[in-house]
Structure 1
Amino acid sequence: MLKNGLSGESQKPLPIPALLGDQDPSPNKAEFFLTAQQSTKEFIEGKMTPTYGYNGDFLGPVIRVKRGNDVTVHVENKLQEQTTVHWHGLEVDGEFDGGPHTAINEGDIWSPNFKIDQPAATLWFHPHLLHETGEQVYKGLAGLFYIEDDVSEKLPLPNEYGVNDIPLIIQDRKFTSDGEMNYDLGMHDVMMGLQGTAILVNGAINPFLEVPKGKVRLRILNGSNARVYNFHLSTQDDFWQIASDGGLLEKPVQLNNVVLGAAERAEIIVDFSEYDQGDTLFLNEENNNLLEFRINGEENNFDIPNQLTDIERISPDSATNTRKFVFQGMGLMVNINGKQMDIDRIDEKLLKNTTEIWEVSNDSGMGMMGMDGGGMAHPFHAHGVQFQILDRNGQEPPENERGWKDTFLVYPNETVRAIATFDHEGIFMYHCHILEHEDAGMMGQFQVN
């Protein structure tokens, strides 16, 4: 069992990523500057770890925009290698998506410009360099990308950034005795994806967060390379999930745990009003304490609305095509539909503004090494589009999967049917978001025109 924290490590306050400043004063425009750079960080007391980060030593700032904004991001590469920046969950044309076709050379600046035309959501950004994504993310290149809109701004939800609206980037890492993050892939890492022995929250091991005596919104990103998390409170109390990958759910869903595969997001609201000042509890993953909550603040009186937003359901009758994607193979032989990634090959061709059903199945057996003794779950992600899940093995998806999803787990021997309308043109990726699988070739390309 993974034990979080390292012996002798003292608790520190949870780091809160900075909000990246908008350099364009125009009301409907936004301009940001982002630099990928090398650095060092003290994860373990007295030991400096070589890292990558955006505008800092590890991870990056939060980019916050509003629906309707015309956005430009200037991305400078100060690494000693190529990189890209993929806007995970953002619906933009392929030339701005930041996939492996848009590599940024050392010393160069890439300045994509796009209009935000999708609902409020918690998205994220990370590298997507061919065969190098896993290592670059592992070293620290990742950050959150918030979209707000008129609907989200009018809802009476906790929205004071860093006070009652908290970003949580959850990642696992292996540290050597010298404090370095070890990305030497053994056979188990190739098979299952790299899974670490310590869990970081916003780049910190075993941090604490002082919270008000009331409702707090947690925007959780599973930013790990491979690990699936089952999040719950140490008290086993219920909470409310209000959003999934692509934005708000129609109604809050009351839960006492939420499972997130790599790259999935969930916004949840935890009510601390029944606790006393000075009480503590934890955000847990299985039996691991990830983040300690300390009740130390004034009570707030947010009421969670019964209705959050309206989601127009996409009718399966509107689909003009059904495509099948099958996860297969293991280790270095992982593939989709029997094919491994070839950047010079387009695997699927689609017409712009058409609706399709994608059936994603998991046939990749891993024997007793994997989940359920018969395989492992693969998180499926497609670029430039948001899906609605129709069913899992013919059964209606759970309530918290009935919103917009850009990434979804597909369990062994399971078929997930999802529907989407492809409104943006260009070349995009679809792949397993276990980054070691993606880098090994469990990825394909689709072109929309």
Structure 2
Amino acid sequence: MLKKTKTLGYNGNYLGPVVELKKGKTVTIRTVNRLSEATTSHWHGLVVPSSVDGGPHQVVKAGETKVVKFKVKQNESTLWFHPHPMGKTAEQVYKGLAGLLYVKDEKTKETMLPQKYGENDIPLILQDRKVKNRNVLGYADVEKTDGALGDTLLVNGTINPYFNVKYSQLRVRLINGSNARNYVVKLSDGSSFKKIADDGGYISKPKNVKKIELSPGERIEVLVDFSKRKIGETVSFETNGVRVVNFKLKDKQGTNLSALAPKSGYEKPLKTLSTVNQKLTLFGMGKNVEINGKKFDETRIDIKAKQGETEIWEVYNKKDMMGGMTHPFHIHGVQFKVLERNGQKLDNQETGLKDTIAIKPDERVKIQMTFKEKGVFMYHCHILEHEENGMMGQLKVD
């Protein structure tokens, strides 16, 4: 006998609507908490003051209403929102509290990028859940020593989705909304597709790739070309041998592939600095996780910075006797560029701005960012259970 799983959602039973924000506009968002417990609404990837960031300090208690107001200042990008209350983030996200934010800019309409939502511009939210006897298990029934892992892939809240393609080019926004699982996504026939954007927006030089890696919290936008495929042909996105979504070509309404590269709307390359301002060491697994030898303390400020200043942080994932694991490192209230991995410099025309980066065991990355907003912001591992177990610190920008 099938039983209904208790879920949470925004304006519905599971997940939330896609919220479109316009660059340059002032936005007012009203959150009504009809849960039986406190929550927050964190705008993951938005560069806003900490007072409206929705971190653990901006709690909305059960039955309360909270209104936030901010100006959208960043370029076109795919962001998302989810709760961030201390001790309840992982469970609330697992139960369904998450949704997407699209930042749009009127000035980039000259591009030929697919922009018809639900037609040639589609989001895919990847989440894994534990299923037993055709029932999705609740959070309390899932093993989560190093993050809640499921055995079944949900995409936009459903299993085995399909999409009827009616255009020559399809824009796909991939979001890893899982608590802890990493994904490697590729096309079932091994063909290449074009990466056009990272977490924080367009890259200046679109790149042909055959696979993409996504750790929890990361987003990537890609273009899939159907112009040389036959009507009726089917191809899939897959991850670890599991189908993500079936694409069936129904029509080939044209888009000029050569005109797809955005002419504007991406971040211009920043002047690269050389001095490392902060060194962070991520370490541990399970409940024994820490940053620089410390667990999170809400009364302690770990790093101080000045508004308008640019800094380089070096983040190292220290191995343990078990070999360690990949930690997706996320910073609130800022977008950064990745300068190096293990001393190897990266081509920042092919790597856009990011707010979350996967760091493998014994790997060292250098990231550069400019602090545009004031307040107290979180930085943490985006394996949600690690965050709750103390792998989080506080950054104060004055």
Give the one of 65, 82, 96 matched to 1:109: 65
Q: Secondary structure at the match of 1:334?
A: strand
Q: Secondary structure at the match of 2:345?
A: coil
Distance in 2 between residues matched to 1:386 and 1:375, nearest whole Å: 27
Cα displacement (A) at 1:258: 0.4
Distance in 1 between residues matched to 2:337 and 2:248, nearest whole Å: 37
Distance in 1 between residues matched to 2:190 and 2:50, nearest whole Å: 43
Residues 1:312 and 2:261 are matched in the alignment = no
Cα displacement (A) at 1:180: 3.8
Q: Calculate the aligned-residue CA RMSD, in Å.
A: 1.8
Q: Which residue of 2 aligns with 1:301?
A: 255
Q: Which residue of 1 aligns with 2:372?
A: 423
Greater alpha carbon shift after TM alignment, 279-288 vs 296-305: 296-305
Distance in 2 between residues matched to 1:138 and 1:71, nearest whole Å: 27
- CA-to-partner distance for each residue in 1:197-227, whole Å, 9 max, x for gaps? 0001100001111112510000110111111
Cα displacement (A) at 1:178: 6.7
After superposition, where does 1:126-205 map in structure 2 within 5 Å?
Answer: 126-177=82-133, 179-184=135-140, 189-191=144-146, 193-205=147-159
Q: Which residue of 2 aligns with 1:219?
A: 173
* Structure 2 portions without partners, runs of 5+: none
Contact kept? 1:60, 1:143, Cα under 8 Å: yes
Distance in 2 between residues matched to 1:340 and 1:163, nearest whole Å: 46
Cα displacement (A) at 1:151: 4.4
Q: Which residue of 1 aligns with 2:290?
A: 335
Greater alpha carbon shift after TM alignment, 374-383 vs 94-103: 374-383
Q: Which residue of 1 aligns with 2:301?
A: 346
User: Aligned pair in 2 of structure 1 residues 255, 308: CA closer, same or farther (>3 Å)?
Assistant: farther
Q: Which residue of 1 aligns with 2:233?
A: 279
User: Aligned pair in 2 of structure 1 residues 281, 200: CA closer, same or farther (>3 Å)?
Assistant: same
Distance in 1 between residues matched to 2:314 and 2:68, nearest whole Å: 32
Q: Which residue of 2 aligns with 1:13?
A: none
Q: Which amino acid aligns with 2:73?
A: D
* Structure 1 portions without partners, runs of 5+: 1-44, 368-373
Distance in 2 between residues matched to 1:125 and 1:168, nearest whole Å: 15
Contact kept? 2:5, 2:138, Cα under 8 Å: no
Greater alpha carbon shift after TM alignment, 397-406 vs 218-227: 397-406
Q: Which amino acid aligns with 1:360?
A: V
- CA-to-partner distance for each residue in 1:227-263, whole Å, 9 max, x for gaps? 1100000011110010000000001110010001101
Q: Which amino acid aligns with 1:203?
A: G
User: Aligned pair in 2 of structure 1 residues 234, 352: CA closer, same or farther (>3 Å)?
Assistant: same
Distance in 1 between residues matched to 2:223 and 2:321, nearest whole Å: 36
Q: Which amino acid aligns with 2:206?
A: P
**How many pairs are equivalent?**
396
Q: Which amino acid aligns with 1:130?
A: M
Q: Which residue of 1 aligns with 2:190?
A: 236
Contact kept? 1:121, 1:245, Cα under 8 Å: yes
Cα displacement (A) at 1:307: 5.3
Residues 1:72 and 2:28 are matched in the alignment = yes
Q: Secondary structure at the match of 2:220?
A: strand
Give the one of 51, 54, 71 matched to 2:7: 51
- CA-to-partner distance for each residue in 1:75-102, whole Å, 9 max, x for gaps? 1100010000000000000000000001
Sequence identity, in percent?
45
TM-score, with length taken from structure 2 = 0.95
Contact kept? 1:249, 1:403, Cα under 8 Å: yes
TM-score, with length taken from structure 1 = 0.85
Greater alpha carbon shift after TM alignment, 350-359 vs 144-153: 144-153
Cα displacement (A) at 1:333: 1.1
Distance in 2 between residues matched to 1:251 and 1:150, nearest whole Å: 21
Distance in 1 between residues matched to 2:256 and 2:173, nearest whole Å: 17
Contact kept? 1:253, 1:399, Cα under 8 Å: no
